[in-house]
Amino acid sequence: MHERSLVRLLLHQIIEAALKNSLAQGNCSEIRVRKVVVACGELSGVEPELVSLAFNEMRGSTDHSGVTTDQAELEIRRQPILARCIECGFEFKVEDFEFLCPTCRSTNNQVLAGEDFHLQTIDIELDNRL
Ligand SMILES: [Zn+2]
């Protein structure tokens, strides 16, 4: 699907976050991104395998400003779908895309989580060579 543009966006977010983080920790000549954790909702329509493939192929391609991502490892955490029943207010995890309230059997519910794909954390290594 659109995994390549998603990864391109992700790499930009990673570099921005790495730069912000290194600024907070003082000057350094090189920032290496070691690990990236993203959350992938089951309703996001994103295929984790395709994101992994695209990431491994594209990492390192947008390196600039002293941030390198060519060794970055990507961890994709699947996020289950959480919904709240409109009828009785019960919050539940949706299994097998079955939007059925386990308490009152209503199908009238609102999705609370599991719809998006986003960056959670990054691990960086700062190289101070002054
Ligand atoms: Zn209910």
Q: Give backbone dihedrals phi and psi of 79, rounded to 5 degrees, phi first.
A: -105, 120
CATH topology of domain 3-79+115-127: hypothetical protein PF0899 fold (3.30.2320)
Pull the structure tokens for residue 117. Answer: 């794909």
Distance 7 CA to ligand 1 centre (A): 38
What's this model's pTM, rounded to 2 decimal places? 0.83
Compute the distance from residue 117 Cα to the ligand 1 centre, in Å: 27
3-state secondary structure of 40: strand
Residue 8: Cβ-neighbour burial (10 angstroms; 0-12, 13-18, 19+): middle
Which residues keep their CB under 5 angstroms from ion ligand 1?
Answer: 85, 87-88, 90, 101, 103-104, 106
Distance (angstroms) between ligand 1 centre and the Cα of 108 equals 8
Q: How far is the CA of 107 from the centre of ligand 1 (A)?
A: 8
Give the separation between CA 114 and CA 43, rounded to whole angstroms: 6
Cα 84 to ligand 1 centroid, rounded to whole Å: 8
CB 109 within 8 A of CB 84: yes
- Return the closest-CA partner of residue 33 out of 69, 73, 76: 69
Phi/psi region, residue 94 (left: phi>0; alpha: psi -120 to 50; beta: rest), is: beta
**Which value, to the nearest 10 degrees, does the dihedral of the CA atoms of residues 78, 53, 7, 26 take?**
90
CA of 45 to the centre of ligand 1 (A): 26
The token pair at 3 is 């995994």
Q: Give domain limits for the chain.
A: 3-79+115-127
What is the residue-level pLDDT of the chain in tens, covering all 130 positions?
589 999 999 999 999 999 888 877 766 678 899 999 999 999 999 999 999 999 999 998 766 678 999 999 999 999 999 999 999 999 999 999 999 999 999 999 999 999 999 999 999 998 765 5
